[in-house]
Structure 1
Amino acid sequence: MAVLRSLLFTLLFYPGTLLYVLATLAVSPFGSRPVQAVVHGWAAFHHVLVRHVLGIRFEMQGSIPPGPHLIALKHQAMVETIEALQLADTPVVVMKRELTVIPLFGPVAVLYGVIGVDREAGASALREMMVQAKEAIAKGRPVVIFPEGTRVPPGEQPPLKPGFAGLYRALGLPVVPVALDSGRIWPRSLVKQPGVIHLLLGETIPPGLKRDEVERRVHAAINALEVSSAAGPQASPPQR
């Protein structure tokens, strides 16, 4: 059954994504708000397919505060890169630059407002990321970052990449850390398993901390579910 569900999800999601991409390009001459509306519609479309085709539910404990924040997510699967668009109000997502040059999808991502990072560019990439992130928060948009830098299998807790601390220091924003356990049922393979993905929001971390302190607190918070089988007995579905 999981194989059939996964196949149906693929057959619906990718052609549907193409339609949303074309719709985004069509409305792009009319400004950022129509673009954002279509992209958020795409994220909602993905959420419905994940819930009703794959049989995967999301349970979130805690909520994202309003206003500009640096949202630091654990990264175990592709699913949270899209769900992140529904965690906060029009967030800007830090992602690898390779995704921003994919035909059709890349231009749409840039139109919406993402920060593409060249992992091989070193300090120059960090400076460019700072500029784009400051532009985002000037518009009141939160910034989503995956501080471990890439997807990691369940159980792994790599150190945070230096870009996180640089962004934290430059932006002067509080950090909302988010732990999740998507990798248990959403592997890199085609077949996804039905079940529950838990999201656990940690205590908001204030700006201005020293690098070792903020990295220690964020690392512990985003890996909180690595030592827990669930987000807690009182977890409740996120508000959409």
Structure 2
Amino acid sequence: MNAQPLAFLRTILFGLFFYGGSVPIVIVAFIILPFSQFRLQSMARGWGGYHYLCARYILGIRVRIEGDIPEQQVLLAIKHESFFETIELLRIFNRPAVVAKKELSRIPLWSQIARTYGMIFIDRDGGAAALRKLMGEVRHFVGQGRSIVIYPEGGSIPPGEQPALQAGFAGLYKLAKLPVVPIALNSGTVYPRRGFVKYAGVVTYKIGDFIPAGLGREEIEARVHTAINVLNGPERKLST
């Protein structure tokens, strides 16, 4: 069997196992929602682990982490190429709060669980009121000692593209008063953001050096932009 039909078959099996197995996880998470945020966070990490197992043994996707996973509270600035890392970060990092686009808040049931876990839904067109709400939620989770995840380019980016950082990143960096750990990755080559078929291969996370809090806007944006794009370039091609 050549690569494309095999990848298609693997993708079908992955969908059956991962999404089918996720349904009871979401149901149980909704049941415990009013009782224990800690258990919900543990379930989220377990869900991330389940996704990893499905990706590893059905899709043939391996994960390589270069650098040290931060143990202290930080602002995690992550390159975003696909759905893959949005679940992986629950497994890799210690209960991070995650800044996400507001469209995800419209998913019934799941959005309630996500909010309780620590998802911060951002409305980029919401004006001053939305900004105040975002600031309040960030302060809340920073006060709990949790790291904050942000995709500073604003959304999922096709492999090889390096857009400027969104304006809100520098504001959140200033508000959080946390050191930044930039993370580059290349998930889009095997787990495309829009394409259906997923491919066997290696997803690399390159964890950059700590960047201190308190830098000026131009410097922090330049350093983060460079660091999250070290695995990206126009020569990258989608695996087939």
The TM-score with structure 1 as length reference comes to: 0.92
Aligned partner of 1:127 among 107, 132, 135: 132
1:42 has 2:47 as partner: yes
Q: Which residue of 2 aligns with 1:223?
A: 229
Give the drift of 1:171: 1.1
List aligned pairs for 1:1-240, cutoff 5 A: 1-187=6-192, 188-227=194-233
Distance 1:155 1:229, change over 3 A: closer
Unmatched runs of 5 consecutive residues or more in structure 2: 1-5
CA distance in structure 1 between the partners assigned to 2:235 and 2:38 by the alignment: 40
The secondary structure found in structure 2 opposite 1:94 is strand
Q: Is the 8 A contact 1:101 1:107 kept in 2?
A: no
Q: How far off its partner does 1:81 sit?
A: 0.6
- Cα displacement (A) at 1:166: 0.4
Moved over 3 A (4+): 227-230
- Give the C-alpha shift of residue 228 in structure 1: 10
Aligned equivalents of 2:205, 2:80: Cα separation in 1: 11
**Sequence identity (%):** 45
For 2:233 and 2:161, how far apart are their aligned partners in 1? 11
> What amino acid does structure 1 have at the position aligned with 2:14?
F
Write the distance in 1 (CA, Å) between the matches of 2:186 and 2:131.
28
Q: For residue 229 of structure 1, report the CA deviation from its aligned partner.
A: 8.5
The Cα of 1:18 is off from its aligned counterpart by 1.5
Q: Which residue of 2 aligns with 1:234?
A: none
| Residue type at the aligned position of 2:205 | L
Listed one character per residue, the Cα deviations across residues 47-84 of structure 1 (whole Å, up to 9, x for unaligned) are 11011111001101112222221000001111011111
Please give the root-mean-square deviation of Cα atoms over the aligned residues, in Å: 1.5
Q: 1:197 to 1:86 in 2, by over 3 A?
A: same
How far off is 1:119 after superposition?
Answer: 2.2
Q: Tell me the amino acid that sits aligned with residue 113 of structure 1.
A: G
TM-score (norm 2): 0.92
Query: The residue matched to 1:152 in structure 2 has which SS?
Result: coil
In structure 2, C-alpha distance between the alignment counterparts of 1:169 and 1:193, rounded to whole Å: 39
Instruction: String of CA shifts for 1:196-219, please: whole Å, max 9, x gaps.
Output: 011101111000000000000000
**Equivalent-residue separation in structure 1 for 2:71 and 2:46 (angstroms):** 21
User: In the TM superposition, what is the alpha-carbon distance from 1:97 to its structure 2 partner?
Assistant: 1.3
Q: Which moved more, 1:61-70 or 1:135-144?
A: 61-70
Q: Is the 8 A contact 2:46 2:91 kept in 1?
A: no
